[in-house]
Structure 1
Amino acid sequence: MKFGSLAVPLTLVAVILMLIVPIPGSILDVLIVINVALTLILLLNTVYMKSALEMSTFPSLLVFTTLYRLSLNVAAAKLILGEGEAGKIIYGFGTFVTGGGDDSSSVVVGFITFIIIMIVNFMVITKGAERVAEVTARFTLDAMPGKQMAIDADLNTGLINEAEAKERRKEIQKEADFYGAMDGASKFVKNDAISGILITVVNIVGGLVLGMVMRGEDLTYALNTYIILAIGNGLVGQIPAVMISTATSMIVTRSGSGTDISQDLTKQLFNNQKVMFIASAVCVVLSFFLPTLPFLLIASILAYAGYRLKKGQEDVHKQEEIQVTETEVENIRKPENVVSLLQVDPIELEFGYSIIPLADVNQGGDLLDRVVMIRRQLALELGMIVPVIRLRDNIQLNPNQYIIKIKGVEVAGGEVMSDHFMAMNPGTVEEEINGIKTTEPAFGLPAIWITESQRDKAEMYGYTVVDTPSIIATHLTEVIKKYAHELTGRQEVQKIIDAVKENYPAIVEELVPKIMTIGEIQKVLANLLKEGVSIRDMVTILETLADYAPVTHDTDMLTEYVRQALGRAISKKFFSDNNANVITLDPNLEQVIMDSLQRTDHGNYLALDPSVSNKILSNLSKQVEKLVRLGQQPIILASPVVRLYFKRLTEQVLPGLIVLSYNELDPGLEIQAVGTVSV
């Protein structure tokens, strides 16, 4: 472990020292072999990698190998200029390219070959890799916000969990960092190619000057010697440089297909029998005008490859047909698996074919995005986890009809006109507009369908104008709010508690499962959601339950205690200003309700005489009607003990009636009683 942590810094120091310390030719030979082997390993790794991030250290390796190669170039230049030799490998490369240096023409040909290699490396491979790295880095950084939004959308729709979202965000960040680093590191490759050219020129010119002036060598001998050594040193540097440039090009042009490039090329380039046969035919035609044998040889190979592909595809089709037949026979023989049919989606939105474009992203529909926003909105507003909302087309419905199902049962629906807008009169419109009269489905308000050309006029007159996706999304939101207590089950409550436990473990560990079960907490939360009380402040809710649950396990009573703890939030929700008009209950009525309570092992329930109940509800309806005429929301105030039972008494007649207790009111509110319900 200690050696491994010191290996990299010691190697870097040694490479830098090579720029100063003279190195013998024999040691230089070994270092050159290491350079060639290292670059070869890097090149082969880029060929067999399945994604660019498998070699996330490549930018650092690129810098290291470039520095190492530069040090070898400098060390070799010192030997060439100082001693007129640079080891056996450099001399061997030079003589191999120049044919031994015996013939002047061979030296010229070898020098030209070396120049061509340098031009190809610098002008084609290196500059191409640099440009691709720059463009890839730019596009990767530009695509980051979109990828982050896609992850958030998948997380909100429930397709992935929080851990998967974190992993995908980390992967995106790594990808951006990698391509940004590659953009900078590719500049090292380019400048290394330039330095190789300059060092070669210095070796030739400096060698000729030193050889002829300092050592007294003749021109022919000096030319042969120093050109061979300069070419050999250049090739020793350029061949690894070409491999590194190629590796850089491979890694920045590699797409994450999940397989190595050999499999991709074989699968994508030689996988179409028609292509093989057409290429073979073209080669046969060309053989009549150009050398016959090479074209006919390639044409035969291509024709054979096409035949093999055709036969292989026929075999695959036969195998698939046999497998399908066997599967059908097996399905007929075995008992039907009905488990998948038992699954019931919590929320479904079904619509006719005219509404399909509103949900199709390819046709410009944004209904799916609105569904995602509904889940976010209700999480912020009510603190609930909305289950995945299934969107389906249903040919049995009318073209413009939609229905909303909760747990497989239709609970709401409506009809819309997808090419129209809905205009609603907020009560301030003085001039009416022509249109098709209808009713807004979410709140039952009178409305008018108008065309797009009438939209500006309607808005000018003061109408509230909404499009069709907004109508459906609003209706869906209100339905989910209405049935929020049914949609928040034990599994959803467990997720909420797990989220609280990450930051407040002491509260959860004290309460669950020592004092209360998940089922008991779920009943309390369902009671709150049923009356439109947000459960987002779970810390306060759990702390209140931890305080009172040891005293009573009656979930109705625990709900009242929680409501009192959430009094400020409840007051803010139902009272828009500090002055509010309410209806109170007569003390005698409250006493009648208290006397009519029947206590059982499963909780308390109200057992009033039907005639008394009718009298109470009749009196209540009159008081409520007074406030409605004044344009105010009717709110009933009762004592904490009576509140819940009076609410249950009124649910059948006035399901949306707000019933609060005195203990839930914010002390800063100024309440004025404008009516009293008596018995």
Structure 2
Amino acid sequence: LVTTMLRLSLNVASTRLILSEGHTGLNAAGDVIQGFSNFIVAGNFVIGIVIFAILVVINFIVITKGSTRIAEVAARFSLDAMPGKQMAIDADMGAGLIDENEARRRRKELEDESAFFGAMDGASKFVRGDAVAGLIITLINVIGGILIGVVQRGMGVGDAANVFTSLTIGDGLVSQIPALVVSLAAGLIVTKGGTRGAANEAVLDQLSNFPKALYMAAALLFGVGLLPGFPFAVFTFLAAAMVGLGYMIQQSAARAAVEKEKADAEAAKAEATPEADANPLRLDELRLVLGEGLVGLANRPDAVLPSKIKSLRKHFSEEYGFLMPSVRIKDDANLPINCYAFQLHGVETARGDIRADRMMVINPEGAPLKLAGEKAKEPTFGLDALWVDRRTADDAESQGFTVVDPESVITTHLTEVVKDNMAELMTYASAKELIDGLDRSYQKLVSDLPVTSPAIMVQHVLQELLLERVSIRNLPLIVEAMAEAMRNTSKPTLILENVRRRLSSQICQGLSDGQGFVPVITLSPEWEIEFTEAVKIVGEDRNFVMSPKRVQEFVLQARQQIQRFASNDEWPALMVSPEARTFVRSMLERVSPMTPVISNAEIHRKVSLRTVGTIGG
């Protein structure tokens, strides 16, 4: 508005000079207007009129009309979207995702955005009015000047038209150029839209994202320069400038990508590299401790152990939906030189002994190995193995033996350690991270669970599922099942059973064999009756009453059936009634933790069962 008023005030002042002093000559309105008049008009005021008309068309029809329309649409869309954005802010605050201060800040940003688009709508009207006013003032100057020159000053019609038209065109050009600049600036600001940052930054950012566009523009300019009659040198210079700018932008983007990749690699290596404790009191969730002879597996320039561990984390995320914590690798002079150990929350869980410069050979059929090498036990499963040199390893592999490098021995062991302790590693922080990764609607559903600490309840359910190696990838369905169950009960056991029922398709798919059947071990009718009588249901409480002798007999019979398949690495599920499932699982947890225990209610309707054994039958 201020810019428009200043320009119009100058326009009014120059109009007064032209009309009052124009009869004295072309220098009546000042040297600036005279200079523009002589340069553009060049002795022929028709040329000046044409040039002035072109500038008016560019300013009024092209720039001003377009920016006005954009400002109108942006203002309308901004106002229409304001209630929805306001409700989203209130919903986030109600769900506990943001605090009151953050909500207040977002509301202020929303108000500023709405005020900006409204102001730009009004400003575009000022700019458009400025262009119209300049055109009207020019017409007044021409007509009024000719009348004043002929009627009052006694000039001839031709002389008056030449003088006053030349001065008016010069004045119009002087005023239209800043008006054109103001319109262009307003158009740039309006068309920038919601892009963050200043307008010049937005333009440069868009150009830097598409350097190929500059190359295409350079090719087009060079092609135009080859056309007959066009200045080849000028267009070649412009094309070269475009190529140079595109190359600089492309190189800058390539350097940024390399630096980012290097930073990511350094972060990943730092995540799994032996290091001294900056804080000796720090308790890592998961730690790999290496003896002095194994440190090179992690800190050599070509070390593959960190990348293998990173791949393992991705595997757990995809298969179980479980965020495996970062593995901090440390060296420990107190460990035997070729020994490694895993620690969970500072407590050693497992250890093994390997040879960093050799390969492990295992016979998958379990027969003795007749090769030259150092006898050993495979740390994870306790199989007989040999440590051999690289050449012998190649021979062993050609004979059908399994050959494993030392890094794979460690990661295989780590895999089983994590699987056995997923429930313990599902800390409150891990559960909260999973919840925060949900869509907002499901985050709201979690916060609406009728318990004092919904996140802790979700953590408990996830721990129970992971304890039985049930994937938690479908966290939204788990949350829905929890909310559904908690409308009727607050018992964690009943909530868990409802979650498992909702996950029946996933559970059965994980237990099915290669032929699409789920192999199960069932209970004999006698055991079914005894378990039904042993489970005492009082309201929502369930108690299990069975003599220790009968419990021991059941465990022995179950172990006999399970061992028939365990020797072939087969683990059929034990199917029991829903009421007894939890108690049967607790009985078998110590003697056969790998055996899945499912209830009849967890069998999906489209799944076919295959009974492979019966306990007590």
TM range (shorter): 0.5 to 0.7
Pick aligned residue for 1:138 from 251, 260, 265: 251
Pick aligned residue for 1:579 from 517, 538, 543: 517
Task: Say yes or no: does 1:453 pair with 2:566.
Answer: no
1:22-101 counterparts in 2 under 5 A?
Answer: none
Q: Structure 1 residues 504, 617: closer, same or farther in 2, change over 3 A?
A: closer
Q: CA deviation at 1:58?
A: 6.1
Pick aligned residue for 1:618 from 519, 534, 556: 556
Q: Structure 1 residues 522, 152: closer, same or farther in 2, change over 3 A?
A: farther
Matched residue of 1:495: which SS? Answer: helix
Matched residue of 1:637: which SS? Answer: strand
Q: Is the CA contact (8 Å cut-off) linking 2:449 and 2:483 kept in structure 1? A: no
Pick aligned residue for 1:359 from 284, 292, 298: 298
Q: CA deviation at 1:155?
A: 9.1
Query: Hey, what does 2:410 align to over in structure 1?
Result: 472
Q: Is the CA contact (8 Å cut-off) linking 1:493 and 1:518 kept in structure 2? A: yes
Q: CA deviation at 1:460?
A: 1.5
Q: CA deviation at 1:131?
A: 6.2
TM-score w.r.t. length of structure 1: 0.52
Task: Say yes or no: does 1:347 pair with 2:278.
Answer: no
Q: Structure 1 residues 677, 152: closer, same or farther in 2, change over 3 A?
A: farther
Question: Which residue type is aligned with residue 454 of structure 1?
Answer: T
1:40-439 counterparts in 2 under 5 A?
Answer: 134=247, 137-138=250-251, 140-141=253-254, 144=257, 147=260, 151=264, 342-360=281-299, 362-427=300-365, 432-439=370-377
Matched residue of 2:612: which SS? Answer: strand
Question: Which residue type is aligned with residue 491 of structure 2?
Answer: D
1:503-518 counterparts in 2 under 5 A?
Answer: 504=442, 507-509=445-447, 511-513=448-450, 517-518=454-455
Q: Structure 1 residues 445, 7: closer, same or farther in 2, change over 3 A?
A: farther
Q: CA deviation at 1:645?
A: 0.6
Q: Structure 1 residues 417, 431: closer, same or farther in 2, change over 3 A?
A: closer
Q: CA deviation at 1:429?
A: 8.4
Q: Structure 1 residues 374, 502: closer, same or farther in 2, change over 3 A?
A: farther
Q: Deviations over 1:127-170 (max 9, x none)?
A: 999869736623633763773695599599999xxxxxxxxxxx
Q: CA deviation at 1:660?
A: 1.6
Report the Cα distance in structure 2 between the residues aligned to 1:401 and 1:8, rounded to whole angstroms.
Answer: 79
Question: Which residue type is aligned with residue 617 of structure 1?
Answer: V
Q: Among all aligned residue pairs of Structure 1 and Structure 2, give the percentage whose two residues are the same amino acid.
A: 26
Q: Is the CA contact (8 Å cut-off) linking 1:431 and 1:461 kept in structure 2? A: no
Q: Deviations over 1:432-484 (max 9, x none)?
A: 54332222222223222221112322222112222111211121122111111
Report the Cα distance in structure 2 between the residues aligned to 1:348 and 1:568, rounded to whole angstroms.
Answer: 35
* CA RMSD, Structure 1 to Structure 2 (Å): 4.9
Query: Hey, what does 2:496 align to over in structure 1?
Result: 559
Q: Is the CA contact (8 Å cut-off) linking 1:417 and 1:468 kept in structure 2? A: yes
Structure 1, gaps ≥5 residues long: 11-20, 32-52, 63-121, 160-338
Pick aligned residue for 1:519 from 456, 471, 477: 456
Q: Structure 1 residues 645, 393: closer, same or farther in 2, change over 3 A?
A: same
Report the Cα distance in structure 2 between the residues aligned to 1:651 and 1:375, rounded to whole angstroms.
Answer: 26
Q: Deviations over 1:157-194 (max 9, x none)?
A: 999xxxxxxxxxxxxxxxxxxxxxxxxxxxxxxxxxxx
Query: Hey, what does 2:193 align to over in structure 1?
Result: none
Query: Hey, what does 2:470 align to over in structure 1?
Result: 533
Q: Structure 1 residues 54, 560: closer, same or farther in 2, change over 3 A?
A: same
Q: CA deviation at 1:670?
A: 3.4
Q: CA deviation at 1:350?
A: 0.8
Q: Is the CA contact (8 Å cut-off) linking 2:269 and 2:306 kept in structure 1? A: no
Task: Say yes or no: does 1:569 pair with 2:501.
Answer: no
Q: Is the CA contact (8 Å cut-off) linking 2:363 and 2:369 kept in structure 1? A: no
Q: Structure 1 residues 671, 454: closer, same or farther in 2, change over 3 A?
A: same
Q: Structure 1 residues 59, 527: closer, same or farther in 2, change over 3 A?
A: closer
Question: Which residue type is aligned with residue 656 of structure 1?
Answer: M
Q: Size of the alignment, in residue pairs?
A: 417
Q: Structure 1 residues 387, 59: closer, same or farther in 2, change over 3 A?
A: closer
Question: Which residue type is aligned with residue 532 of structure 1?
Answer: R
Task: Say yes or no: does 1:645 pair with 2:575.
Answer: no
Q: Is the CA contact (8 Å cut-off) linking 1:516 and 1:549 kept in structure 2? A: no
Q: Is the CA contact (8 Å cut-off) linking 1:586 and 1:676 kept in structure 2? A: yes
Q: Deviations over 1:261-294 (max 9, x none)?
A: xxxxxxxxxxxxxxxxxxxxxxxxxxxxxxxxxx
Q: CA deviation at 1:516?
A: 7.0
Query: Hey, what does 2:134 align to over in structure 1?
Result: none
Report the Cα distance in structure 2 between the residues aligned to 1:416 and 1:8, rounded to whole angstroms.
Answer: 79
Matched residue of 2:528: which SS? Answer: helix
Pick aligned residue for 1:484 from 422, 435, 438: 422
Q: CA deviation at 1:54?
A: 10
Q: CA deviation at 1:579?
A: 3.4
Structure 2, gaps ≥5 residues long: 1-118, 130-165, 178-198, 209-235, 273-277
TM-score w.r.t. length of structure 2: 0.57
Report the Cα distance in structure 2 between the residues aligned to 1:145 and 1:615, rounded to whole angstroms.
Answer: 65
Report the Cα distance in structure 2 between the residues aligned to 1:375 and 1:433, rounded to whole angstroms.
Answer: 35
Q: Structure 1 residues 575, 152: closer, same or farther in 2, change over 3 A?
A: farther
Question: Which residue type is aligned with residue 254 of structure 2?
Answer: L
Q: Is the CA contact (8 Å cut-off) linking 1:354 and 1:399 kept in structure 2? A: yes
Q: Is the CA contact (8 Å cut-off) linking 1:156 and 1:375 kept in structure 2? A: no
Q: CA deviation at 1:55?
A: 6.2
Q: Structure 1 residues 531, 150: closer, same or farther in 2, change over 3 A?
A: farther
Q: CA deviation at 1:669?
A: 3.6
Matched residue of 1:419: which SS? Answer: coil
Q: Deviations over 1:470-508 (max 9, x none)?
A: 211121122111111111122222221222233645643
Matched residue of 1:500: which SS? Answer: coil
Q: Is the CA contact (8 Å cut-off) linking 1:637 and 1:660 kept in structure 2? A: yes
Q: CA deviation at 1:364?
A: 0.9
Q: Is the CA contact (8 Å cut-off) linking 2:360 and 2:386 kept in structure 1? A: yes
Report the Cα distance in structure 2 between the residues aligned to 1:437 and 1:342, rounded to whole angstroms.
Answer: 39
Query: Hey, what does 2:94 align to over in structure 1?
Result: none
Question: Which residue type is aligned with residue 347 of structure 1?
Answer: L
Report the Cα distance in structure 2 between the residues aligned to 1:425 and 1:613, rounded to whole angstroms.
Answer: 38
Q: Deviations over 1:23-78 (max 9, x none)?
A: 99xx99xx9xxxxxxxxxxxxxxxxxxxxx9967569999xxxxxxxxxxxxxxxx
Q: Is the CA contact (8 Å cut-off) linking 2:287 and 2:342 kept in structure 1? A: yes
Report the Cα distance in structure 1 between the residues aligned to 2:487 and 2:204, rounded to whole angstroms.
Answer: 61
Task: Say yes or no: does 1:440 pair with 2:553.
Answer: no
Question: Which residue type is aligned with residue 354 of structure 1?
Answer: G
Q: CA deviation at 1:648?
A: 0.1
408-417 vs 461-470, which deviates more?
Answer: 461-470
Report the Cα distance in structure 2 between the residues aligned to 1:9 and 1:57, rounded to whole angstroms.
Answer: 24
